[in-house]
Structure 1
Amino acid sequence: MEKPNGGAAYWRATLGLLTTVLVLWFVVSYGFGILLRPILDGIHLGGYPLGFWFAQQGSIYAFLVLIFWYAARMNKLDREHDVHED
């Protein structure tokens, strides 16, 4: 049974999750890889400066983690709002 205003609540939760994912992706890719690169270059990871690593590899790894986290969180939201597929 659908709750009153259930569609609006589901949409609001979905947009909130999407906003969170996009902000995290921006911080990791643009923030760590470009804006904070001079600060992070003092730390080395695998022989390379951390700022360089984030620009080349770290943002890709973070993106992959975000994909799986987003999928798991969306499944949870679908179940909470009773719009899941079985």
Structure 2
Amino acid sequence: MSANSKAYWRANIRLVLLLLSIWFTVSYGFGILLRDWMDQFQVGGFRLGFWFAQQGSIYVFVLLIFVYVYRMNRLDAKYGFGEGD
């Protein structure tokens, strides 16, 4: 494996771990562990802890998919692994 490939995969794994940690924090942390504390706030008439447990983690997951696609396209271009290469 070339040094370029190793750097690419290192950046890829770092990005995946970052995005998974964000999703874990939102879904498990906000939706379960901090739910009681977050219930003192409201979003659209619903308690915030309930909203994160039911909807928020799904929205964040979909948003993270788009962030992943955007960042991977930039990484592909940076390391020369684009679709045309």
Bucket of the pairwise TM-score, normalised by the shorter protein: over 0.9
Q: Report the counterpart of residue 22 of structure 2 in structure 1.
A: 24
Select 2:63's aligned residue among 65, 68, 84.
Answer: 65
Unaligned runs of 5+ in 1: none
Q: Report the counterpart of residue 33 of structure 1 in structure 2.
A: 31
Amino acid at match of 1:18: V
What RMSD in Å do the two structures reach over aligned CA positions?
0.8
- TM-score normalised by the chain length of structure 2: 0.94
Once the two structures are TM-superposed, the CA of residue 18 in structure 1 deviates from its matched residue by 0.3
- TM-score normalised by the chain length of structure 1: 0.93
Q: Report the counterpart of residue 7 of structure 2 in structure 1.
A: 9
Once the two structures are TM-superposed, the CA of residue 62 in structure 1 deviates from its matched residue by 0.3
Select 1:77's aligned residue among 59, 72, 75.
Answer: 75
Deviations along 1:11-32, whole A, 9 cap, x unmatched? 1000000001100000010000
Task: Give the whole-Å Cα distance in 1 for the aligned partners of 2:35 and 2:49.
Answer: 4
Deviations along 1:32-82, whole A, 9 cap, x unmatched? 000110110000111111000000000000001000000000000000000
Select 1:43's aligned residue among 38, 41, 47.
Answer: 41
**Number of aligned positions between the proteins:** 83
Unaligned runs of 5+ in 2: none
